[in-house]
């Protein structure tokens, strides 16, 4: 060391001169210039470059990693050679690709440094990243407007579960949704609602923050949620429409959009002309919550008991009937007993009328309107399955499907009204008044249930288990009476609820808003009951039993043979013979056109119903 020190003292002046000469050559003589970080720091010696850069996020990089295009330091120092624009995307490629669609870049031409600040002294965030994001965003966006309340305020107070600006809007991929004129495109509403659901469907997060559980699931059970899930979010309210975007406050806060005094204005953004009690409608109803939604809870319990009771009885009835007749058929075939034969010219082959032309026509219209209601309503009941979206697109969208749904409902209401009027005319014939009313109500031609129906049910179950003969029926069986009155009950439940939901703003002048929640539940569950009952129980009773399989064309032709009447409705046959009315009931054999229509329309309806049964069960079992 001592020798080295002496050598430096002796030759130090020479070394300084040599260094000066070399610097002159590098900066003056072309081709001898070189560039390095140490070279750069010879001129760029400010605070960010010397003391802060080495410890920054980019401290391991050389200057030329970012500042490219300087091949000759001398030319650069003389201003003859300038560096290329810094391309952060060369290293941060994925971020750059996302930022290329960022609203800040597209509309404001923001560069990386506009948000990240002094790049040469940039350090990795220490502490809360969410808090840093909020602080950074509010350098441009009004702090009073965006951080005074809601999620961002909670972030600044230390709640890491609360959403920062980036959680809703994205960080480098902040989308440019809103267009001129204030439009709110489909992508925007879908994007923001999905961001809300991401956090509010997190059970652990909800529990930690004492938020209401099942808030997302309850929204998805409403018309708003179902239409959105079906792919039409701009036609209904998303999260931000009711809760607003930034000043999200508890509904107990007077500044909240959900505060009772503010609800009329809030709902009025989409709905007009409603009674103030309309706002008692819940956008997040929970029919399992007995304390907060008692009417909805008991309506749900009632509908569950109704569906469970009806299907338990009739599916059991259907299965036992199927077992009985197929086992009986198997026994007869095994014993060599041939089915009964009809011979030409016998009176048993004569056609007799069961249904009049207007009844047959109304049944065809009923079938068409019923299928229209199923095909337009169930895609909204089960919006998440693929076939629902396909059907809605086939109709031309949710609004078009809704138009045909209401049109079919109107047709069905007219049909039921006609039947009700004809029923009243039957019970109160002109000139007779109340005379003989009891006989007409409980007589053999009436569809009103009576004590014989109760005995028939008992005897039918005894027959199922080989404990007695099959009961003898009159003009109407107990299951046909149930079918008939189920239509009236269905029209009361589905019809009334559907009318209330048809124009909810008008309905609010008749009933409070919470009734619409009940109406939605009843309408949906009763529709499920009607569809599955028709496609399983009714189809079996009228078409799939062995004597009629695969189709009973009676409802289309209006006639059947006298022997069929005697076999299926022996008491009616005996009464007709005793009253000598047979000649008045005789009709011509159905023509080929009627048979063809029955085959095409009838079998087509059966196949469509069975297909819809499979689709409905698929939707019910889907996660």
What does DSSP assign to residue 559? E
Cβ distance 537 to 318 under 8 Å? yes
The model's confidence at residue 345, banded by pLDDT at 50, 70 and 90, is low
Q: Report the pLDDT value the prediction gives residue 151, as an integer from 0 to 100.
A: 86
Task: Decide which of 257 and 613 is more confident.
Answer: 613
The model's confidence at residue 332, banded by pLDDT at 50, 70 and 90, is confident
Q: Is residue 14 scored above 60 in pLDDT?
A: no
Task: Decide which of 125 and 251 is more confident.
Answer: 251
Q: Is residue 159 scored above 80 in pLDDT?
A: yes
Q: Report the pLDDT value the prediction gives residue 140, as an integer from 0 to 100.
A: 87
Top mean pLDDT of 16-20, 100-104, 508-512 is at 508-512
Q: Report the pLDDT value the prediction gives residue 34, as an integer from 0 to 100.
A: 56
Q: Report the pLDDT value the prediction gives residue 605, as an integer from 0 to 100.
A: 96
Which residue do the tokens 């239509």 mark?
Answer: 487
HEC assignment per residue over 72-132: CHHHHHCCCCCCCCCCHHHCCHHHHHHHCCCHHHHHHCCCHHHHHCCHHHCCCCCCCHHHH
Q: Report the pLDDT value the prediction gives residue 189, as an integer from 0 to 100.
A: 82
Q: What is the mean pLDDT of residues 390-404?
A: 96
Domain boundaries, the chain: 28-123, 294-329+350-621
The residues, any chain, with a CB within 8 Å of residue 619's CB and separated by 6 or more, are 378, 381, 382, 385, 387, 388
Q: Is residue 544 scored above 50 in pLDDT?
A: yes
Task: Decide which of 6 and 262 is more confident.
Answer: 262
Q: How far apart are the first and last CA of the chain?
A: 80
294-329+350-621 has CATH 1.20.950.20 classification: yes
Q: Is residue 21 scored above 60 in pLDDT?
A: no
HEC assignment per residue over 183-227: CCCHHHHHHHHHHHHHHHCCHHHHHHCCCCCCHHHHHHCCHHHHH
Q: Report the pLDDT value the prediction gives residue 105, as an integer from 0 to 100.
A: 87
Q: What are phi and psi of 389, to 5 degrees?
A: -65, -40
Interatomic CA distance for residues 512 and 278, integer angstroms:
6
Q: Is residue 27 scored above 70 in pLDDT?
A: no
Q: What is the mean pLDDT of residues 281-306?
A: 95
Q: Report the pLDDT value the prediction gives residue 567, as an integer from 0 to 100.
A: 92
Q: Is residue 131 scored above 50 in pLDDT?
A: yes
Q: Report the pLDDT value the prediction gives residue 121, as an integer from 0 to 100.
A: 77
Share of the chain above pLDDT 90, in %: 57
Q: What is the mean pLDDT of residues 517-526?
A: 97
Q: What are phi and psi of 402, to 5 degrees?
A: -65, -40
Task: Decide which of 429 and 37 is more confident.
Answer: 429
Interatomic CA distance for residues 510 and 612, integer angstroms:
35
Q: Is residue 349 scored above 70 in pLDDT?
A: yes
Q: Tell how strand 586-587 and strand 559-561 pair up.
A: unpaired
CA atoms within 13 A on the CB side of 80: 9
Q: Is residue 347 scored above 90 in pLDDT?
A: no
Top mean pLDDT of 158-162, 183-187, 400-404 is at 400-404
The residues, any chain, with a CB within 8 Å of residue 480's CB and separated by 6 or more, are 447, 541
HEC assignment per residue over 315-363: HHHHHHHHHHHHHHHHHHHHCCCCCCCCCCCCHHHCEEECCCHHHHHHH
- In 3D space, the residue among 44, 87, 50 whose CA is nearest the CA of residue 68 turns out to be 87
Cβ distance 538 to 483 under 8 Å? yes
Q: Is residue 24 scored above 50 in pLDDT?
A: no
Asked if omega into 550 is within 30° of 0 (cis), the reply is yes
Task: Decide which of 1 and 141 is more confident.
Answer: 141
Cβ distance 225 to 196 under 8 Å? no
Q: Report the pLDDT value the prediction gives residue 221, as an integer from 0 to 100.
A: 92
Helix (H) or strand (E) holding 587: strand 586-587
Q: Report the pLDDT value the prediction gives residue 311, as an integer from 0 to 100.
A: 97
- Point out the least confidently predicted range of 256-265, 505-514, 605-614: 256-265
Q: What is the mean pLDDT of residues 581-589?
A: 94
The model's confidence at residue 30, banded by pLDDT at 50, 70 and 90, is very low
The residues, any chain, with a CB within 8 Å of residue 600's CB and separated by 6 or more, are none
Q: Report the pLDDT value the prediction gives residue 181, as an integer from 0 to 100.
A: 47
The residues, any chain, with a CB within 8 Å of residue 481's CB and separated by 6 or more, are 447, 448, 449, 453
Task: List pLDDT tens digits, range 350-380.
Answer: 999 999 999 999 999 999 999 999 999 999 9
Q: Is residue 348 scored above 90 in pLDDT?
A: no
Task: Decide which of 188 and 471 is more confident.
Answer: 471
Q: Report the pLDDT value the prediction gives residue 32, as an integer from 0 to 100.
A: 41
Q: Report the pLDDT value the prediction gives residue 183, as an integer from 0 to 100.
A: 58
- Both structure tokens of 413: 């209401």
- Point out the least confidently predicted range of 161-165, 428-432, 460-464, 560-564: 428-432
């Amino acid at each position: 060391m001592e020798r080295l020190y002496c050598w430096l003292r002796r030759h130090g002046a020479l070394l300084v001169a040599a260094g000066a000469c070399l610097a002159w050559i590098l900066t003056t003589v072309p081709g001898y210039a070189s560039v390095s970080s140490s070279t750069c720091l010879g001129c760029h010696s400010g605070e960010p470059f010397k003391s802060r850069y080495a410890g920054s996020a980019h401290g391991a990089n050389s200057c030329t990693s970012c500042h490219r295009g300087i091949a000759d330091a001398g030319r650069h120092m003389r201003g003859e050679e300038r560096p290329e624009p810094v391309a952060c995307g060369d290293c941060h490629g994925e971020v750059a690709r996302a930022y290329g669609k960022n609203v800040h870049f597209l509309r404001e031409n923001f560069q990386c440094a506009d948000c990240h600040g002094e790049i040469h002294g940039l350090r990795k965030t220490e502490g809360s990243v969410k808090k840093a994001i909020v602080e950074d965003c509010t350098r441009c966006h009004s702090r009073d407007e965006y951080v005074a309340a809601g999620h961002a305020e909670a972030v600044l107070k230390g709640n890491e579960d609360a959403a920062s600006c980036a959680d809703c809007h994205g960080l480098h991929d902040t989308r440019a949704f809103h267009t001129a004129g204030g439009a709110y495109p489909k992508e925007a509403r879908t994007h923001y609602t999905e961001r809300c659901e991401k956090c509010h469907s997190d059970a652990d997060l909800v529990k930690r923050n004492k938020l209401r559980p099942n808030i997302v699931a309850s929204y998805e059970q409403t018309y708003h949620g179902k239409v959105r899930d079906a792919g039409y979010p701009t036609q209904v309210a998303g999260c931000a429409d009711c809760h607003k975007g930034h000043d999200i406050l508890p509904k107990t806060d007077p500044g909240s959009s959900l505060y009772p005094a503010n609800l009329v204005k809030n709902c009025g953004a989409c709905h007009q002309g409603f009674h103030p009690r309309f706002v008692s409608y819940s956008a997040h109803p929970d029919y399992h919550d007995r304390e907060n939604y008692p009417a909805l809870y008991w309506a749900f319990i009632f509908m569950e008991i109704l569906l469970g009771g009806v299907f338990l009885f009739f599916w059991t009835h259907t299965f036992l009937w199927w077992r009985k007749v197929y086992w009986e058929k198997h026994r007869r075939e095994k014993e060599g007993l041939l089915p009964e034969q009809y011979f030409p010219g016998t009176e048993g082959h004569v056609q007799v009328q069961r249904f009049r032309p207007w009844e047959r026509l109304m049944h065809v219209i009923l079938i068409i309107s019923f299928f229209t209601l199923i095909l337009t309503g169930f895609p909204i009941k089960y919006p998440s399955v693929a076939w629902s979206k396909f059907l809605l697109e086939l109709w031309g969208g949710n609004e078009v499907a809704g138009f045909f749904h209401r049109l079919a409902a109107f047709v069905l209401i007219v049909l039921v009204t006609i039947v009700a009027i004809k029923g009243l005319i039957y019970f109160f014939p002109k000139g007779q008044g109340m005379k003989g009313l009891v006989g007409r109500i409980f007589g053999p031609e009436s569809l009103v249930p009576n004590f014989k129906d109760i005995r028939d049910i008992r005897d039918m179950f005894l027959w199922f288990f080989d404990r007695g003969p099959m009961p003898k029926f009159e003009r109407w069986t107990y299951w046909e009476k149930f079918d008939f009155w189920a239509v009236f009950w269905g029209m009361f439940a589905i019809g009334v609820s559907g009318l209330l939901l048809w124009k909810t703003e008008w309905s609010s002048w008749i009933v409070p808003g919470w009734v619409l929640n009940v109406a939605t539940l009843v309408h949906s569950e009763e529709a499920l009951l009607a569809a599955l009952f028709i496609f399983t129980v009714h189809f079996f009773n009228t078409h799939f039993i062995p004597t009629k399989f695969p189709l009973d064309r009676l409802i289309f032709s209006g006639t059947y043979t006298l022997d069929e009447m005697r076999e299926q409705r022996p008491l009616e046959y005996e009464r007709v013979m005793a009253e000598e009315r047979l000649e008045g009931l005789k009709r011509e054999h159905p023509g080929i056109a009627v048979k063809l229509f029955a085959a095409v329309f009838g079998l087509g309806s059966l196949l469509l119903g069975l297909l819809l049964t499979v689709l409905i069960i698929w939707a019910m079992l889907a996660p």
